[in-house]
Structure 1
Amino acid sequence: MLTNYLKIAWRTLRKQRGFAFINIFGLAVGLACCLLIMLYVLDELSFDRYNANAERIYRVQSDIKFGGNDMHFATTPDPLGPTLKKDYPQVEQFVRLHQRGNWLVKKAGETTNIRESDITFADSTLFDVFTLPLVAGDPKRALTEPNTVVISESAAKRHFGNQNALGQTLVFANKENYKVTGIMRDMPQNSHFRTDFFVTMLSDNYPWGQWLSNNHHTYILLKPGRDGAPADAAVFSRNFESVIEKYVGPQLMQMMGSTMEQFRKANNQMNFWLIPLTDIHLHSKQQVELAPNGDIQYVYIFSAVALFILLIACINFMNLATARSSSRAREVGVRKVMGSERQQLVSQFMTESILTTVLAMLLAIIIVAVALPGFNSIAAKAISLSQLMSPTLLPLLVALPIAVGLLAGSYPAFFLSSFQPISVLKGRINTSFRTVSLRSGLVVFQFMMSVVLIVGTIIVYRQLTYIQTTSVGFNRDHVLTINDLYYVGKQAEAFKQEVMRLPGVVSGSLSGYLPTPSDRNDTVLFPEGQTNLNKGVSMQHWGVDYDYVKTLGIQVVSGRGFSPTFGSDSSGIVMNEAAVKILGFKDPIGKHVWRFDDPEGKIRKTYTIIGVVKNFHFESLRRNIGALSLVLDANSRAASFRVSSTNLPGLMQQIEAKWKQLAPGQPFTYKFMDDSFDEMYRAEQRIGTIALTFAALAILIACLGLFGLAAFMAEQRTKEIGVRKVLGASVPSLIGLLSKDFLKLVIIAILIASPLAWYAMTQWLSDFAYKIDIEWWMFALAGAVAIGIALLTVSFQSVKAALMNPVKSLRSE
């Protein structure tokens, strides 16, 4: 019986090639979108699950409210990990990570360095917590001695080629020798942090024991509960209150003469909490992450988009199948007269539906294979086609076409099999478009989702344009930045002066920090004479030179910037408006502020406010502008040059030549500040591109269905059109007659979609402190696009039908 059903289904598809193509291609595109998004979502959900003890690993996070700032850190004080292991038996092990950032690395005996990024200090317990297999070396001893390092296989190949790297020596920053004691497999792509170098924490030159600083990422491995049950993180988190009282409180008293009770009464807070390792990538929005995280919001959005696109494709199938009911009605009538039961007819039509979706799935896999490289590039992923055959996805790959076939074919099957043989054989079956309310509802749903996607895409791109073009309070255009300046050592100033002499260089500056993605430096400043915790202001504290304000085009609103003509500027400070406002200074120039200048709080550094600069964005526009202070500091890590050369490649060659003169063997790397600024919004740019792509595909699928539906309706009304033409109807009036019913449905879809899109995009924009307003024209534009596309799709068939010779259409009469 099944073989017979398949033969009939195949013959039907071959007989109705146009109808079959629209259905198979539409379903294939829908399934391909669904598969791509499914691969993306599963990749996002798989982060850090490669660790054998992933369900028992947690990271400790810090929430601190102090000095007018709410700070949410992915880092903790350095003593926290060892203290938890010592005081609480529930903690099986801990490990701390301290990200060093970029370092110049070379093999001992070589002269040329390689600039390595994301070098990380780690405790020797690293391999007890994380699953990082070593291909050479002993994980128990690899990081137990000073000046040792574990490197990845990729790093070993870069520095040692085919030689055995174990036991070899690497030179860091041209001065520090490290012995390679382990070679690990490259960390998986689906890890919330990745590095090629783990340096022993014993070599980290850090002032240990600071309970009031947050510079280390602390992970703990909790022991399993009773009967092997997962550890109860919520129960363990209750211990943090006593940790704060026992350890943080005494150091707070030592530095500021304040108890924790007084600290809290001053409207300050300090809390530690646990986040599961597997939640970090999608759920953590803390500051100072080891790497940019994903966002669970986008997983939900793309999952919904995949579902909607698949539903749109299924709706096409249902619409076209029911619309062509008259062409199958007599077939049903004859079959019933010959003895076929309804159940057999349902089985026949369901077989046709499943065969269609199986063919569509095969085509979808081909589309995915072709599209995957481009999708990976847009989404910054490394997904392979082989992942479709994974134990997780393979059953779904088999079940999906069957499920879609049942979903898409169920209504047409029951609809067609319900025809009464006497009525259909007499030609009494009503296939009028106006009477099929379900079909109209499905068309409305298709275009409603299409309009939501169009509105979403418009708003995402408007927000990205706003971010890229809005004034950030300084001039980031034509500013060249050169990092790793410490590799030229004491010759940094000489390098700056040499570059300043080149034609096309307007100004230059040396500094420790820039208003681009980079490390940050927090401090707490107090007005002179104040030790009250209420009066302290937590702010960014950046070391700069005399030309920093001028080079970046930062506006001075009162006082002045730093100047070499004033010797007292070595103890001067420049603040932004936000810092002055929080400090409560009405006339800040000449006022004094102070801060602790050592970890134990015994030394204080006093500054005189010499200038106030206009607020400028030094972090993402997702955050409000915080307090910031600038002081003179010769410890520079970056050089910035404002350039105006028309021959930029030639200028870059000259700057590189100057670099090589002063830092031979050191790699020369640079960026333009506007490019660095854009890096903060790469995730949004990727989301915008993906949203635009899937919006276009959703519209394409909807239009395929509309095209087939319009073609069939025009065919059904061929004789009516012929009669109207004979009676004098014009071509425009006939086009309007055939198009208006469809356009009514699209307008209804726009009216329903607009509030849904407004709500969804309002939620998305809520993550930004600085954002666009959602305006009426965005919905009008999306509606116009939907109407225009629908009109073009329907008009093609309407014009074709209206121009037909009425003699041909009335010949059978």
Structure 2
Amino acid sequence: MINFLKVAIRNLTRNKTFTGINILGLALGTVCCLYIIMYVNDQYSYDRQHKSAANIYRINTLLTLQGGTPINNGSCSPPIAPTLKKDFPEVEQFTRIVHTGRLGAKQHLLQYGEKSIFETDAVYADSTFFDVFNYHFVYGNAIKTLDDPYCVVLLQPTAIKLFGNTDPVGKTISINNDYGKHDFKVTAVIDESLGHSHIKANLLMSMNSGGMGGFTYTNNEWAAYNYAASYIRLRPSANAMALDQKLPAFLNKYGADRLKQMGMSKQLHLQPLTSIHTTGGYKSEMSEPVDSSFLHLLLLIAVLIQVIACINFMNLSTAHAAKRAKEVGVRKVIGAQIKNLVTQFLGESLLLSCCGVVLALPLLVLLLPYFNQLTNADIRLSFFSSVSFWLLLTGIMLVSGLLSGSFPAFYLSAFKPIKVLKGNFTNRLSAAGVRRVLVVFQFVLSILLISGIIVIYSQLNFIKNKDVGFNQNQQIILNFYTGDAQDRIPALCDQLRTLSEVKAVSQADNYPSQEVTRDWLFYLEGSNGETGKDISMVTTDEHYAKALGMTIIGGRDFREGDSGRVLLNETGARSLGLNAETAPGKRIYPQHEANEPVMYFEIAGVTKDVNYNSLHDGIKPLMLRYNMRQARANVIINVTSSNYSALLGKIGSIWKQHLPAIPFTYSFLNDDVQKLYEAEINLSATINLFTLMAIFISGMGLFGLSAFSAEQRTKEIGVRKVLGASVLHVSSLLSKDFLKLTLIAFIIATPIAWWLMNQWLQSFSYRINISWWMFALAGSLAMLFTVCVVSVQAIKAALANPVKSLRAE
């Protein structure tokens, strides 16, 4: 073994380029592989810290309204969870959460003495919340923490903002939001040190505390109001699938009449708690889930990057086989068996892999903050202290070493001693052929990744520039979350309209990019409730369409005092059997008034369809309802100024006049719209980075192979130069073989890339058409990259002195 180690070290130091390429390639591959595995493991760790996590399920709803498409909600009607516990002995406990941000109260003013802060992500929670979920209590404990009305549990970051590092348990704070201003007693402070949770909350208020919590506490509606995130904990012996099959009969028992009356169908199903964060497709999520297909793609990229690094080792080892052939012959003559030689060469591979891992660790520490920023994750160095990390690192080192050294070991050990000692280095295996296959495989992977970058970029650019039916540029959004602040909106808006840079100002309870949480079933005058169509509703003033640049294609816009009138979008009008010409003047009735239709709305006009939310979804029926009293919470300012700094200073001054105690905050509408595609933007940035890594590692291997090719043809190049060959001719001579391999890779990769990217685009209702030029560009970039890398060695060989080349041995 000592002899093997000496020989290995001598070979590695003698071939510094070969060694450097392999160690750096394996190091970079290991960095990418390690981080991606750590990131994926972190995403799958959500909600696994709870003691009974395997027995906790969320109750989801598949809701289909008349004339609408099925909607998957990660929530259900308020009475469902407690009734499940009452009716089924296998249900051990239940709890419900109501996220106030989805129901109007997006921000909350918390005050303690002279200290006041704004907080988002406040929830109402049942008293059973800590019976189902486990958290670390910094102050207080889980016993009866949320039993009494107007109790609040603070997350540690929120508690520190208000109280510093002191114990706040027993102290009283005031919470001012859209539901009014109330005093709450702090009963505990918790943190998420036990693990990540899909429940995104900065404070938890007891359910029986008025507002939407009090409404939920007493609500007995089985069809509508599907907003409560509801969870059940089953007994260890219970069968979740068997309970799931009982849910249709259970829902029919309590809600059949009401569902029929409202003209909707509804299905309940149980979702394991630990799958919530990695399963997309549900509405009403408290935090943005990570699609499991994205995680699988990242794992695939991690494996491919490591494989590319291993291929470099295989190619360079077999290319330099001639230099090791006589060593193999001598070892065999003096009694070495094949297993001894295989052990030697695999040991050298493992030594290189170990060196790569040693270099990878400081690189990972250095790049960790950048990777975290890119993936919006929080992977910490403390992960390095875990046993699982070192097991993972050891596994990567062993697999990489054995994989990269396997073919060279068996190839070199197969040499016949008599032949190699006579100078014949051939054996039954075709190393050159295998090298070509491996190079083609590397470039297939590179072209696939480059094609992915091009298609993703094109789709994101399409989203950015698509006409969504409203003007998202030069729109400033102001939010008002407390009742007293909302009362001052009309006066503030009037003063904003006096600014010369302001074209229009509107107040509304919602605006594009935000989820519309209110929808009713409507039917035409002369029809009945059974023909009702589901239409989402936004409450506005008379300036809304003008402020957003929406186009009125039939009838007229709102006028001041247009109480009881609405604007429908084209899709909404069509769902009722109307169009832009026939809709104006018609009356429509909400279905919940079907038995006594005393409430109706008159259609004032029809607007051009707008993509109110993400382009992942199609356009849905939408109604703008004129109601100055309810059009609160948001102000939209359409501006013309290019000097935003000065304009925001003026708007801030007006804000301070009307709301001196509330900090001036604002956002830009186009930024809010872009947040809808945050997952795609992160995907694009992540794939860009790791694709560059893969291409760089491939390029290092290509550089090494081109250097070896030039070295092997030294005398040939010298003869050609003596006979008059130009530098260009010699360069093209060395480059054409690699270009042929790149062309073969392009032919193989193109149909695979087309299929994969076509599958990804299916998640968008509005998407680009994949064009031939995208793959042609990917292939051209791969060929250009090949030419650039190979040309470095080719030109160096072409410029060498032919006299020295002809003397070379």
Fold shared by both chains (TM-score > 0.5) = yes
| AA partner of residue 87 (structure 1) | D
**The one of 787, 790, 803 aligned to 2:799:** 803
Looking at structure 1, the residues matched to 537 and 805 of structure 2 have their Cα atoms a distance apart, in angstroms, of: 83
- Tell me by how many angstroms 1:413 deviates: 1.0
C-alpha distance in 2 between matches for 1:5 and 1:127: 61
**CA offsets 1:16-68 (integer angstroms, 9 cap, x no match):** 11110011011111111111111111111111111111111111111111122
Residues 114 and 667, structure 1, Cα contact 8 Å, conserved in 2: no
Query: In the superposition, relative to structure 1, how do residues 657 and 340 fare at CA in structure 2: closer, same or farther (>3 Å)?
Result: same
CA contact (8 A) 1:475 1:554 kept: yes
Change (3 A) 1:614 1:357: same
Tell me what 1:373 maps to. 369
CA positional deviation for 1:518: 4.1
Q: What's the secondary structure of 1:145's corresponding residue?
A: coil
Alignment partners' CA distance in 2, 1:361 and 1:162: 41
**1:67 correspondence with 2:66:** yes
Amino acid at match of 1:58: Y
Shift of 1:487: 4.5
1:687 aligns with 2:683: yes
Aligned to 1:522: 519
2:715–2:808 CA contact under 8 A, matched in 1:
no
The answer (yes or no) to whether the contact 2:521–2:592 under 8 Å persists in 1 is: no
Q: Match of 1:212? A: 223
Superposition deviation, residue 398 in structure 1: 1.4
Is the deviation greater in 98-107 or in 7-16? 98-107
The aligned length equals: 790
Conservation of the 8 A alpha-carbon contact between 1:154 and 1:186: no
- Matched-pair contact (CA < 8 Å) for 1:433–1:713: no
Which of 183, 187, 204 is matched with 2:189 structurally? 183
Give the TM-score normalised by the residue count of structure 2. 0.95
Post-superposition offset of 1:436: 1.8
Determine whether 1:489 maps to 2:486.
Answer: yes
Residues in 1 aligned to 2:223 and 2:773: alpha-carbon distance in whole angstroms: 51
Contact 1:187 1:194 in 2 (8 A): no
Q: How does 1:75-94 map to 2 (within 5 A)?
A: 75-94=75-94
What secondary structure does 1:642 align onto? Answer: strand
Tell me the distance in 2 between the aligned counterparts of 1:804 and 1:621: 58
Pairwise CA distance, 1:334: 2.3
Structure 1 range deviating more: 115-124 or 236-245? 236-245
Give the C-alpha shift of residue 480 in structure 1.
Answer: 0.3
Distance apart, 1:469 and its partner CA: 1.1
- Listed as ranges, the gaps of 5+ residues in structure 2 are none
Q: Alignment partner for residue 553 of structure 1, among 549, 554, 572?
A: 549
Q: 1:684: how far off?
A: 0.7
**What is the one-letter code of the residue matched to 2:107?**
W
CA contact (8 A) 2:523 2:591 kept: no
Whole-angstrom CA distance in 2 between matches of 1:241 and 1:148 = 36
Q: Partner of 1:627 in structure 2?
A: 621
1:245 to 2:252 alignment: yes
From 548, 572, 593, the equivalent of 1:579 is 572
> Which residue pairs with 1:259 in the alignment?
none
User: In the aligned structure 1, how far is the partner of 2:486 from the partner of 2:193?
Assistant: 33
Matching of residue 605 in structure 1 with residue 605 in structure 2:
no
Quote the Cα distance in structure 1 between the aligned partners of 2:270 and 2:243. Answer: 9
CA contact (8 A) 1:94 1:129 kept: yes
Looking at structure 2, the residues matched to 389 and 439 of structure 1 have their Cα atoms a distance apart, in angstroms, of 40
Aligned to 2:164: 161
The letter of the residue matching 2:502 is V
Question: Deviations along 1:445-500, whole A, 9 cap, x unmatched?
Answer: 00000000000011111111111111110001000001125441322100111111
Which residue number corresponds to residue 386 of structure 2?
390
Structure 1 residue runs without a partner (length 5+): 226-230, 257-262
Question: Aligned partners of 1:168 and 1:668: how far apart in 2?
Answer: 28
CA change 1:132–1:604 in 2 (3 A) is: farther
Task: Flag the 1:413–1:22 CA change in 2: closer, same or farther, 3 A.
Answer: same
Match for residue 466 of structure 1?
462
Equivalent residues in 2 for 1:63-142, closer than 5 Å: 63-70=62-69, 71-101=71-101, 102-110=106-114, 113-142=116-145
Structure 2 residue matching 1:357: 3-state secondary structure: helix
In the aligned structure 1, how far is the partner of 2:355 from the partner of 2:505?
63
Aligned-partner Cα distance in 1 for 2:744–2:572: 52
CA displacement 1:107-165 (0-9 Å, x = unmatched) = 3332x531101000000000011112323334231111111111122221111113320
Q: Report the Cα distance in structure 1 between the residues aligned to 2:421 and 2:598, rounded to whole angstroms.
A: 100
Deviates more, 1:728-737 or 1:622-631: 728-737
Contact 2:32–2:302 (CA<8 Å) still a contact in 1? yes
Q: In 2, Cα distance between the equivalents of 1:434 and 1:735?
A: 26
Distance 1:187 1:483, change over 3 A: farther
Contact kept? 1:539, 1:579, Cα under 8 Å: yes
Matched, 1:745 2:741: yes
Query: Alignment RMSD, CA only?
Result: 1.9
Q: Distance in 2 between matches of 1:52 and 1:297?
A: 28
Higher mean alpha-carbon deviation, 423-432 vs 522-531, is at 423-432
Alpha-carbon shift at residue 328 of structure 1 (Å):
1.1
CA shift in 2, pair 1:650/1:431, >3 Å: farther
SS at match of 1:243: helix
State the distance in 2 between where 1:520 and 1:469 align.
Answer: 27
Identity %: 39
Partner of 1:760: 756
Distance 1:122 1:356 in 2: 55
Q: Residue deviations 1:532-581, cap 9 Å, x none?
A: 42x111121110000000000000010011012xx5x2111110000111
- Matches of 2:730 and 2:787, distance apart in 1: 14
> Hey, what's the Cα distance between the residues in 2 that align with 1:532 and 1:523?
11
Q: Give 1:78 shift.
A: 0.7
Kept after mapping to 2: 8 A contact 1:124/1:140: no
In 2, Cα distance between equivalents of 1:322 and 1:435: 6
Please state how far the C-alpha of 1:812 moved relative to its aligned partner. Answer: 5.1
